[in-house]
Amino acid sequence: MADDRNEVIVMGGGIAGLTTVLALRAAGIGATAYERAPAPDAASAGNGLVVWHNAVLALRAIGLEEELDAVGAELLRYRFRSRRTGSLADWSVADGARRYGAPAYTVSRPALHGMLRELVGDDLVLGARCAGFTEDADGVTVRLDDGREVRGGVLVGADGLRSTVRRVLMPSEPPPRYAGMTACQGIVSPGAEGVPGGVPGGVLDAIPEGVFVNTFGEGTWFVYYRLGDGSVYWDAVLDDRTGRRIGSAASPLGTGLRAALLREFGDWPDPVPALIAAGPEADVLPVGIYDRDPVPRWSTDRVTLVGDAAQPMTFNLGQGANQAIEGSVVLAECLATAAGTGSGPAAALAAYERRRIARTARVARRSRTNGVLSSRHNPAVCLLRDAFMRVAFDRLVYRKTYRLTMDTDFGAPPTGTGHQEDSHR
Ligand SMILES: Cc1cc2nc3c(=O)[nH]c(=O)nc-3n(C[C@H](O)[C@H](O)[C@H](O)COP(=O)(O)OP(=O)(O)OC[C@H]3O[C@@H](n4cnc5c(N)ncnc54)[C@H](O)[C@@H]3O)c2cc1C
């Protein structure tokens, strides 16, 4: 049994777990991440992500901005479109970068995970599944499902949406809330252009660099953007009603997924059908979307949560991984401050909760609301939504949402007094 009462045990080797180890290392605190997946790649499943200004500032605080820059592509614009009525809104992300003093990046999830994993090195133990833990006055003992035990001073549950650590902390909590939608993700690489079963030549060339395009339908939407390696990430989102309509009754999205998506998205504007049609069936990854209601506490004296384990949120603001990164860095700061002042882990975890619970709760709630608005069905309601977005989205939604998600306690305060001075078009 490993036993080091100063060591922080991090359960989970996803974005939150790995960033926590690196943030703690930067603060001079030893930590090891334990990941249930037996192989590194198995822990990095998924496709594209946007790392927004807030998470870039957090990564900068622990000296990792250059590494992110090497795997990401800078995001410059965010376009909202209606499948039927064309352009709805066009934000300048570059303005946000100036305001917050940090760019935003699109990045492939495996590339981001790989970058973090390489830096973590031997402080990641694979094939280690947490089965439970006990806490006493001197430390925490974690039980792995193969019978091994690990002991340390603090336990951080970074084990995602269905966290085992959370289940031990909150045994009577209901399971995560299904948000009623499925995201079907794919990646089209430049090598797939013009080849049989790939995308027709020129399709990828027509997709601009640095632009996130989000097109709304009725109960559906479609996102695409370029990643750092020149490939294009796409994500077709269906609410359950649409999923049932286009799939078989028994398995709405389980089989024939690409054909089902083409039935729904086949007459959408270019390049939507071509992106869906490219590549083998197995490359389309359907992911159900879940979140949880915020809770007032997620720590004991020596055990806490970070990332999706702490506050899972729907993907509608693209903030889950960003909040995971922020949370990891704040947690390390709080543990380092406590170590410096001799105030102990309980004070550190209480300070961490004070800085994180209200913030992540606000982001999760706004994300849930955005999801409800995005998945409207009724064509008349969709037309109203589109009209609202065209005339008032910038003023009423964008500025508030941008401020809510991007204003962090890292780095310099944003420049200017508000977004009034920004040009969004
Ligand atoms: C379609 C989609 C698009 C998204 N887009 C964005 C985006 O653009 N921007 C953004 O910020 N977020 C986005 N998100 C959200 C983001 O993916 C998550 O918030 C983020 O991955 C959470 O990271 P995490 O490390 O907390 O959890 P996870 O990535 O789930 O990692 C948890 C890790 O813990 C391991 N684990 C689980 N149980 C155990 C156990 N018992 N013992 C040991 N290990 C265990 C798992 O194997 C896993 O590796 C998106 C999500 C989806 C579904």
List b or e across 383-421, with b for residues whose CB sees 16 or more CB atoms inside 10 angstroms: eebbeebbeebbeebbbebbeebbebebbeebeeeebee
Nearest-CA residue for atom 48 of ligand 1: 14
Indicate if the pLDDT at residue 253 is higher than 70: no
Q: Is there a single domain that holds both residue 279 and residue 323?
A: no
- State both tokens at 148: 């091994």
Q: Is there a single domain that holds both residue 15 and residue 146?
A: yes
Range of the domain at 239: 177-290
What confidence tens digit (pLDDT) does each residue in 257-298 have? 888 898 899 999 999 999 998 866 567 878 889 999 999 999
Domain membership of residue 118 (yes or no) is: yes
Q: Is there a single domain that holds both residue 285 and residue 207?
A: yes
Q: Is there a single domain that holds both residue 15 and residue 136?
A: yes
Enclosing H/E stretch for 214: strand 211-216
What confidence tens digit (pLDDT) does each residue in 6-59 have? 689 999 999 999 999 999 999 999 999 999 999 877 665 668 999 999 999 999
- Residues having CB closer than 6 A to ligand 1 are 11-17, 34-37, 43, 49-50, 129-130, 158-161, 164, 183, 185, 235, 287, 289, 307-309, 315, 318-322, 324
What confidence tens digit (pLDDT) does each residue in 179-198 have? 999 999 998 887 776 666 67
What confidence tens digit (pLDDT) does each residue in 60-92 have? 999 999 999 999 999 999 999 999 888 999 989
Domain membership of residue 422 (yes or no) is: no
| Per-residue model confidence (pLDDT) at position 374 | 73
What confidence tens digit (pLDDT) does each residue in 292-340 have? 999 999 999 999 999 999 999 999 999 999 999 999 999 999 999 999 9
Q: Is there a single domain that holds both residue 215 and residue 263?
A: yes
Catalytic machinery residues: 225
Q: How far apart are CA 119 and CA 291, in angstroms?
A: 30
Q: How far apart are CA 23 and CA 249, in angstroms?
A: 47
CATH code (residue 308): 3.50.50.60
CATH code (residue 244): 3.30.9.30
pTM of the model: 0.93
More confident residue, 380 or 123: 123
Q: How far apart are CA 183 and CA 188, in angstroms?
A: 16
Q: Among 290, 311, 342, where does a domain finish?
A: 290
pLDDT bucket at 417, cuts 50 / 70 / 90: very low
Please give the tally of structural domains in the chain. Answer: 2
- State both tokens at 402: 């941008």
pLDDT bucket at 370, cuts 50 / 70 / 90: confident
Q: Is there a single domain that holds both residue 158 and residue 192?
A: no
Q: Is there a single domain that holds both residue 46 and residue 191?
A: no
Q: Is there a single domain that holds both residue 182 and residue 168?
A: no
Q: Is there a single domain that holds both residue 157 and residue 187?
A: no
Q: Among 255, 290, 325, where does a domain finish?
A: 290
Q: Is there a single domain that holds both residue 169 and residue 182?
A: no
Nearest-CA residue for atom 27 of ligand 1: 160
Q: DSSP code of 102?
A: S
- Token pair 């091994």 is found at 148
Q: Is there a single domain that holds both residue 336 and residue 224?
A: no
Pick the atom of ligand 1 nearest to 287's CA: 53
